[in-house]
Structure 1
Amino acid sequence: MWQRAQTIYLALVIISMCLTLALPFAIYPMESGDVSFNLFGLSPKSDSVSVWFPYYIIIALIVGLALFGITQFKNRKRQLNLGKINYLLILGMVVMLFFDTTRIADGLSMSEESIKFQFGLYMPVIAFAFTFLANRRIKKDEELVKSVERLR
């Protein structure tokens, strides 16, 4: 199970999404100090704008599906479907992150050019790439098993 490449890729999805929990998404420089946009909203809290999308729930779903996908190594079709669901969840999260970063900048009366994007914003994109690589390897395994069955 652990020697398969898709298991390693799914483990990297889990690691990158766990890093998203700890890293900020963006920093907004203000005269009174920097405002940080992280997983749980803005810090320090701002009265003019708030974050309404529950990113921690989406991250928990993505990590849970990747963990469940690792355990489904005997059922490649289910593993592939879990990867497709993860695609949609990660894509939805990335889209909402980019919408939220620009909406927060508008709420703080800032230009979009002054936003300092942080590494936490790119971790879901990296997880998306690892999910893609894992699904490619799952498909290769499925094709290998089908070719061996044809030879019998």
Structure 2
Amino acid sequence: MIQRIQTLYLLGIVVLTTLMMCLPLAEFLCGAETFNLYGYGLRSVETGEMYKTTVFLAIMLVASALLPLVNIFLYKRRMTQIRYCIVEFVLLTGSVIMLAVHYVLFYRAFADFDFYALSIKVTMLLPIAALFLNYLAMRAIAADEALVRSVDRIR
């Protein structure tokens, strides 16, 4: 299970999506107040108060962090693993789209202020890296399945 390369890819997806939940994705400066966009909502840096929650994004990120963990333990059922990788691809793509939508919505909300600035954090690129790792995991699982089928054909 752990000796397979796709297990490392799937663990990488878990780590990246967990980091997206914990680290700020973007920062908005409005006058004297600073807001950070997390995977679960928009939070003020000074007061720590949550201004807006992003529930659906948080649900998608949690699901996209748990699904690869489940997928790791299905190592005897490779076709099911491939299907779960496809579902993970859909979840990660949906979270990228939702993240972009929330970013644009908050950007427009803060654009009304007299003085504002914004900065995108490196963590905004983590879902793209997770998508790439998911693709690599799916390819490695398919290669394992092809190897097993070729060995069955020889017997």
Q: TM-score, normalised by structure 1?
A: 0.89
Higher strand content, 1 or 2: 2
* 8 A Cα contact 2:9 2:134, kept in partner: yes
SS in 1 for 2:11: helix
C-alpha root-mean-square deviation of aligned residues, in Å?
1.9
* 1:59 aligned residue: 61
* 1:71 aligned residue: 73
* 8 A Cα contact 2:74 2:80, kept in partner: yes
* 8 A Cα contact 2:40 2:55, kept in partner: no
* 1:22 aligned residue: 22
Range with greater deviation from structure 2 (68-77 or 115-124): 115-124
Runs of at least 5 residues in structure 1 that lack an aligned partner in the other structure: none
Q: CA deviation at 1:40?
A: 2.6
Identity %: 27
1:148 to 1:46, Cα distance in 2 relative to 1, 3 A: closer
Cα distance in 2 between the residues matched to 1:56 and 1:97: 10
- Say yes or no: does 1:129 pair with 2:137: no
Aligned pair count reads 148
Please tell me the residue identity of whatever aligns with 1:78: T
* 8 A Cα contact 1:6 1:138, kept in partner: yes
* 8 A Cα contact 1:51 1:100, kept in partner: no
SS in 1 for 2:33: coil
4+ residue runs of structure 1 moved beyond 6 angstroms? none
Q: CA deviation at 1:52?
A: 4.1
1:144 to 1:46, Cα distance in 2 relative to 1, 3 A: closer
Cα distance in 2 between the residues matched to 1:34 and 1:60: 26
Q: Which aligned pairs between 1:26-105 and structure 2 lie closer than 5 A?
A: 26-44=26-44, 50-105=52-107
Q: CA deviation at 1:64?
A: 1.6
* 2:154 aligned residue: 151
Cα distance in 1 between the residues matched to 2:70 and 2:137: 14
- Say yes or no: does 1:119 pair with 2:122: yes
Q: CA deviation at 1:65?
A: 1.0
| 1:35-68 deviations in Å (ceiling 9; x for gaps) | 2111232122587xx4444322212211221011
* 8 A Cα contact 2:10 2:134, kept in partner: yes
Q: TM-score, normalised by structure 2?
A: 0.87
